[in-house]
Structures are given as C-alpha cells and as structure tokens.
Amino acid sequence: MNSLFRRQAPSAADLDSFHQDGYIFYPDVLKDEARHSLTDEILGLDSVRGYLDALDEKSAAPQSYFVRPWNDRGPYGDRLIDDPFVTALLQATIGPSYHFCHSALNLAPRGIGSIPYHQDHHHWKHENPVNLAERDKYYVQILYYPNGFTLGDRNLKVIPGSHLVAPTAEATPERMLAGAYDAEAGRELKEVRLAVPPGSMVYINARIFHAVEAKPADSPQPYRIFNIDIFKEAGPPHRYTQEIPSEWITRASPQRKKLFLREPYTEGCWAA
C-alpha cells in the first residue's frame, strides 16, 4: 500500500480510545521519508520563508504563522487528505459518509502564549435549527506535528472523556476538571498533557476539550510546525468548511471527488 504512514488501519484498541477517550494518539506514525518531505514542503513555502526570515529579525511580540484554509500544499500535504490510513481511520470512526471540511497550517514561535481549553464543533455554539440538528454528528480533527513537542513546550493537552458530556453552557472545562461531570461522563475527568515525537498524529473527536501550553522564550525548538485536516460527517457546512479549489476537483479520483463535493460555508448559510 502506498501510504505515508507506518500503520494501515486503526486497531480495536485505537477505536476504543477514540470512543472512550475522544482521541487517538499515534506517536511517530509518519514514515521518516514522509516526515522529512512534508516538513521540507512546508518550510519551502514562500509565505513560510518570509515568516521565518522575519522571526530571525526578532520582532518585539512573537506572532504565529497561521493560514486557513491551507491550500498551498505540495504532493505530500496533498496525499494526507486521502492516504489509505487516513481513509481507514475516517471510515472506522465516522462511517462511509464524510467530507473534507478544511485545513490549516500553523507555526508557533518561541515566546508564543497558550490556547485555553476549547472545543471545535461549530454547530454547538449556534442555535439555528440546522445547528441543533447537526449537533451530534461527527467532526474530526487530524492534528499533525512534523517536528513534535515536549511537555511544557507548546504541548497539547486534553480532557479524555469530555466529549461524552452534553454540550451545554454550564459544562465548562473548569467545572469538568473540578469533578462536576464525572457522573455524566462515567469516569474521572482529568487533564492529560501529551509529549509528542516528530511525525506524530493526534486524531480527535472535536467535541473533546483540548488546549495548548505556551512556548517558552528559551525553547530549544525555534518553532513548532502544526498542520491539520478536518473532516465532517456528511451534512450542511461547518463554520470553516472551505471552498475547494476547482483544480483539486478536476484532478481528483472519483473517490476523492466525493470528499470535495459538498457546500462550503457562506455568510448566512445557517439562517432559518
């Protein structure tokens, strides 16, 4: 199989982790060649080079590089979208009916601040009938960390099981971590901080609460690379469901075309 990954399909234990914890952590799952090539592709982008040159000049306040959607993908970035392992994961978790939603690329420099606990399921924070109807559908984020991170250095952290708590305004991460929702989740909800080697993937149900710690000014790693692909169960657009470049559709295989043929988000598309 022509895959960028060391794995071919999720194991039963992986799927248990997805359903019970809300995520699957795959350390160092990209093949070495794929990790190197993906990294080179990202660092070779003109916009990234410009960003990194400016970083070297040490501006006062550290700024992240962030682009959404990330359409300027080379062959490796492109292959991530429907790599056989990614397809196997999506089919085993969401089922046969899912679409590519959008993507993003992020570089986090030394001195950048934290991201507080949040969820990324865009139908929960809106009350239109369409949002209410879509609330329980799957929305999956595939997080890639080509150069990884260590604890205390822009590490991701999660509250395993927090996706099992009904998304109400009262169900805040603070209250979850204080034990108020252990009974509803059927487990103790507590924080897990992840240390992630280069070439790792974290596959999450976007309903899980997750957060990111700050990157120290003296971090041995000058910047952390993070790219993400997001898939949604078939249905109306999420907040960032991107327009697909027409050339992507033109050159897509019939299988891949199915991922792309859906409505993008437009202003007012949720209005009743």
Ligand X SMILES: O=C(O)CCC(=O)C(=O)O
- Total number of residues binding ligand X (CB under 6 A)? 9
* Residue 181, contacted partner among Fe ion, ligand X, none, CB below 5-8 A by kind: none
Helix H or strand E encompassing 49: helix 46-56
Shortest Å, Cβ 247 to ligand X: 26
Q: Is 210 in the site for ligand X (CB under 6 A)?
A: yes
Q: Is 41 in the site for ligand X (CB under 6 A)?
A: no
- The correct pick among 38, 94, 214, 228 for binding ligand X (CB under 6 A) is 228
* Residue 55, contacted partner among ligand X, Fe ion, none, CB below 5-8 A by kind: none
Residues 142-161 touching ligand X, rule: CB under 6 A, are 143, 156
For binding to Fe ion (CB under 5 A), which residues are involved? Answer: 120
In 3D, which of 264, 208, 204 has the Cα closest to residue 239? 264
- Sort residue 258 into left (φ over 0), alpha (ψ -120 to 50) or beta: alpha
Shortest Å, Cβ 272 to ligand X: 28
Q: Which CB sits closer to ligand X, 9 or 240?
A: 240
- The correct pick among 25, 98, 226, 265 for binding ligand X (CB under 6 A) is 226
CB–CB of 134/123 below 8 Å? yes
Spatial CB neighbours of 126, under 8 Å, sequence gap ≥ 6: 270
Give dist(CA 136, CA 141) in Å, integer.
Answer: 15
Q: Is 125 exposed, middle or buried (0-12, 13-18, 19+ CB in 10 A)?
A: exposed
Shortest Å, Cβ 244 to ligand X: 20
Helix H or strand E encompassing 183: helix 182-185
Q: Which CB sits closer to ligand X, 68 or 135?
A: 68
CB–CB of 3/84 below 8 Å? yes
Give dist(CA 114, CA 217) in Å, integer.
Answer: 13
Q: Both tokens of residue 86?
A: 């990614």
Binding mask 95-134 for ligand X (x = CB under 6 A): -----------x--------x----x--------------
Q: Is 67 in the site for ligand X (CB under 6 A)?
A: no
Q: Which CB sits closer to ligand X, 120 or 134?
A: 120
* Residues within the interface to ligand X (CB under 6 A): 106, 115, 120, 143, 156, 210, 212, 226, 228
